[in-house]
Structures are given as structure tokens and as C-alpha cells.
Amino acid sequence: MSGLLTFGETMGLVTADGIGALDRVRGFRLGIGGAESNVALGVARLGLPATWIGRVGRDATGDLIERRLRADGVEAVVIRDPSFTGLMVKHRRTGALLHVDYHRAGSAGSRLMPADIPVGAVRAAAIVHVTGITPALSDSARAAVFQAVETARAAGVPVSVDVNFRAKLWSPYDAGPVLRDLVSRADLVFAGPGEAALIVDGPPLQGLAALGPTEVIVKDGARGCTALIDGERHTVPARDVVVVDPVGAGDAFAAGYLADRLSGAAPAARLATAIAAGAFAVTVPGDCESLPTREDLIAATTDVTR
């Protein structure tokens, strides 16, 4: 392989139809979701090679994950585990309040270990992408992340880190030092302003860059993004869209940026693609259902509507 390599936990995603208390909902949809697999799917849909490695259970949800990833062109290295495939349940209590609950403690995905990530695959990748979610899952998953990152660094393979802090997985106190250590080993980092504040004091771009990454991208939702890439500052506004489901927008953004980086695009073009991909993602429900193709992005010359 010569494209993106990523790994982590992908889960079944149960989404309640409609708005209101979960016990009042009468319809549900089943999909898949996971930060790393979302990025792999986004990169693949944009025409670049992407590999995802992860553990799933010997169950129907694990089957669904494997089929969905491969159907969209992701090279899925699926390790079947005796434990169950994790699950997310997503519902809107009100039009403005979205809940995501996890059922993943002891799941197959949390049992990821260093031996699951082949050294040869890491060395052959063009970019290794990891998130701050996987180190929160278990000691073995955290070891897998850091071992892969160190293998990539030794081989001269760029390392991309999306901070992706999840408060339901660990506390800011526990997460801060681990995430700081991870970012200090990266060439490229994505973070929201609040996530950056867990790691550094002061302005996020300069603080994160001081840790070592030469490409720092701060995602700020409806305010767009700012970036410091090879010493040059960039500011890109967000697209004006109707937000239906914000979950997965950051993954779509990262996928757009990384796909253009893999194809050799200039920093400004990478950021423009990232913003457009993130805008697509928020316009329909689901973690990965609306990740765009190149044709989608070409068609959306001024804005993104559905």
C-alpha cells in the first residue's frame, strides 16, 4: 500500500428517528461509525487508497462493518475477536441537543493490540493516521497507537493525529498528558479549540506547533478553520449549510485534507477540500453516509445544499 493507514474501533450505530425522549421513538436506523474508519471511507471516496485495521466481534454487526468498508473501497483488515462489536446509540432529545451513548467497555475493538498492526504496513504507508480515541479504550489499544507511531517515525512516514477527545471515555486530567505526548510525535495534527486547550496553553496554533507538528489545523465548526502549515498561516471560512447531524463532520474534514495531501495538492487546496467535505457530512444523518466523492465536490462550486 502507498496511501492512508489507520486503525481503531468501528461500532454499530443505532440512530433514533425523530426528536424526543428515546423511549418515545418508534423508528431506528442501523449503520456504522468510528472516527478512524470514517476517515478511511472519506479518503477512499475521494479516490485515494485507504486501509483500516481493527477488531470486530463474530456477530452480525461485525459482518456489517466489514461489508460496508469494503463496499466503499477501503482495504479493511478485519480481525475477528471473541468479544462483541461495540455499539453507539444516537438520539436527539431536542432539536438542538444530540446525545451519543457508547456500549463499548470490553468490546472487540477495545482489545486492539500492537501485534494487530503489521510493521510492514506501517512502513509502506504514505500517511499513518491515528486519533485520541483509541488510546482511551484500553492499555493494549494505547500501546498499539504509540508503537505504530514510533514505527512510522523511524521509517520516515508522516504521522497524522486527530485529537478527538471523548469525555465519556476519559477525563481531561487523564487525557491531557497522553494526548500531548501523542501530538509531540506527529507531523500533522487536527484539533478543536477546546481539545487544543487540553494540551497547550495560549493560542492553539502556535502552542501545538511548538510541540513539533509542521501542519497544525484547528477545526472550529461554523467558524471554519485556521491552520499553520510549514510556517504559513491560513484561515478558511465554513460553508453556509443547514446542519442536520454534526457527528462525523470532523472526520470528513480530516479525510478531505488527507486525501488532497496524498494527491500532492497545495495547502490552500487541502483546506478548501476539507471544509467542503465537512459541510457535506453535516447535511444528512449518520457518521459516514454523506462523505463526498470528487464528483460531489466538483458539483458544489458555491455551496452545499440538499
Q: Can 251 be counted among the known catalytic residues?
A: yes
The set of cell numbers assigned to 260 is: 488532497
Sequence-ordered alpha helix ranges (H) in 230-266: 249-262
What letter would DSSP give residue 57?
E
Among 225, 164, 160, residue whose Cα is nearest residue 188:
160
| 116 contact partners, CB below 8 Å, separation of at least 6 | 7, 53, 54, 55, 79, 144
DSSP 113-140: -GGGS-HHHHHH-SEEEEESSGGGT-HH
Taking the C-alpha atoms of residue 54 and residue 20, their distance in angstroms, rounded to an integer, is 34
Active-site annotation holder among 81, 116, 245, 251: 251
Active-site amino acid positions: 251
